[in-house]
Structure 1
């Protein structure tokens, strides 16, 4: 996702947008928990809380590495496990480094239905594999495409907050956004931001519990996963060579290098793109043919 900003407003862009999956939950440990407890009430395990505290320390190290004046702003899914994860992450940050925190319903988990009967869910998930993970809608629930729509709405609100300076009132301050969410929702966020196709999305592996992805602003004004992470990490996440090449371009914003080394995503949609160019002619022009150095009108 690319935005054009006036040079004087570029300093307001967050330095980093960090997506974090919640810690281990009781549902991760025991799928039968969903049969008696609503998904949004599933709590963290003791290990999940420990994972969240460790993630908080690692995120703190990322944003504080360069020193200077930095702050963080948190968005969090309303589910019990994400809110508990945020509480543990927050222990790593002094209060004067936190601009604020906001519960955001649009980054909640994909809705898999109400109380989930384990055997039925197993059969439903097998059907999803045959139908396609992105478009399959769970009974009484959502598809990943539905999640995409609400994440797209959230991104529009996020850009308004950024453009209006709601998240950064001090131009000398380096702002970092941390979004504590869920595995699929975070992957959909990346899909929307980087304009990935459905096929590219379906390549991606899920986040581990309390694993995070750092989208960092490159020198040319583009966010990239390759400013902080390595190509090897992106490969482990399931990203294709074309997706990694796009991240490499975004990290340096060198369009000439991109044109020389990487094929356009146009090839994703057209097997044999027509490389010829068309030139417009005026209404009075007639098609011409050249013969023996002379120009004549075609009959």
Structure 2
């Protein structure tokens, strides 16, 4: 049985207000065997460390190749935005030609067909031709790609059109993956689910054990915020450069790209439900225009609608409009 002792209020206050060094929270301690510079980067890639051993908070950038860590001031100009944001749908996959593949192969592991590989390579050369018509010598491309096998294979064949010196970077981005239809898919049940989706609404219908387009919208929103931040800090810029001739290429899936456009241009649910996927291996070009805003490049995007050149807003002639994208 514990011995009862009288409480001393002064000693209690002293005990509570004095924190032993060993109990300091990790973020306030200086660990002698831990070097944050080595963990976060080396040389020019390292974040700046203050004299007390903490990471400076007035730096910009991330510990990746070519990201500046100079202090941001009100007079620091923002890096130029990419000249284009190019959206590419993966080439023809085995699931596009045979729906029974989904019953035995996980969706993320479905391959491209030989036709799909050729579509991807042709798409790469179309992109290069478009970029070279700018007449700039310092152009670069940067890739975001879905982690699904068919998008990674699309990037591999699309990338054959570019020398390594033209590629400023690549990032695998899970948030731009395909809509989740619910693990292995029963063919007849999927047909029923898709019929129910038309009755319920293409945007809000959630597949059993899967996602709705609204769910995809939520993760695409997070990706868009990351993308805007990456643009603002110049993540796509070649090391030590401030080039306006960087082209951002996003390799993804039909529905994910439609949702990306919906989120970027603030389209309504009704407008989204009037859109269909572009073809396999096709692309949409968002060209930088006045004020740094992006609009559809008319040479590469054909629609049954009029498109505002300033902000890409769709002016619908009817609610059941279908976008048709150029494959040239």
TM-score (norm 2): 0.69
**Aligned: 1:204 with 2:275:** yes
Give the whole-Å Cα distance in 1 for the aligned partners of 2:194 and 2:113.
Answer: 25
Give the whole-Å Cα distance in 2 for the aligned partners of 1:143 and 1:7.
Answer: 44
Look up the match of 2:225: 156
Tell me the alpha carbon deviations over residues 147-192 of structure 1, each in whole angstroms, 9 at most, x when there is no partner: 0000010011111111112111411351110000000000000000
- Deviating 4+ runs (over 3 angstroms): 6-11, 226-230
**Aligned: 1:40 with 2:131:** no
Aligned length in residues: 241
Question: Which of 12, 16, 19 in structure 1 is aligned with 2:87?
Answer: 19
Give the whole-Å Cα distance in 1 for the aligned partners of 2:270 and 2:170.
Answer: 34
Bigger shift: residues 88-97 or 64-73: 64-73
In our comparison, the structure showing a higher alpha carbon Rg is 2
Call closer, same or farther: CA 1:125–1:160 in 2, change over 3 Å.
same
Give the whole-Å Cα distance in 1 for the aligned partners of 2:110 and 2:177.
Answer: 13
**Aligned: 1:29 with 2:100:** no
Runs of 5+ consecutive residues of structure 2 not aligned to the other structure:
1-73, 320-328
SS in 2 for 1:99: strand
Name the structure with the higher helix share: 1
Question: Which of 238, 249, 253 in structure 1 is aligned with 2:310?
Answer: 249
C-alpha contact 2:93 2:150 (8 A) present in aligned 1: yes
Look up the match of 1:142: 211
Give the whole-Å Cα distance in 1 for the aligned partners of 2:285 and 2:232.
Answer: 21
C-alpha contact 1:215 1:227 (8 A) present in aligned 2: no
TM-score (norm 1): 0.76
C-alpha contact 1:71 1:173 (8 A) present in aligned 2: no
Look up the match of 1:274: none
SS in 1 for 2:276: coil
C-alpha RMSD of matched pairs (Å): 2.3
Give the whole-Å Cα distance in 2 for the aligned partners of 1:172 and 1:56.
Answer: 21
Call closer, same or farther: CA 1:9–1:61 in 2, change over 3 Å.
farther
**Aligned: 1:195 with 2:266:** yes
Call closer, same or farther: CA 1:7–1:126 in 2, change over 3 Å.
farther
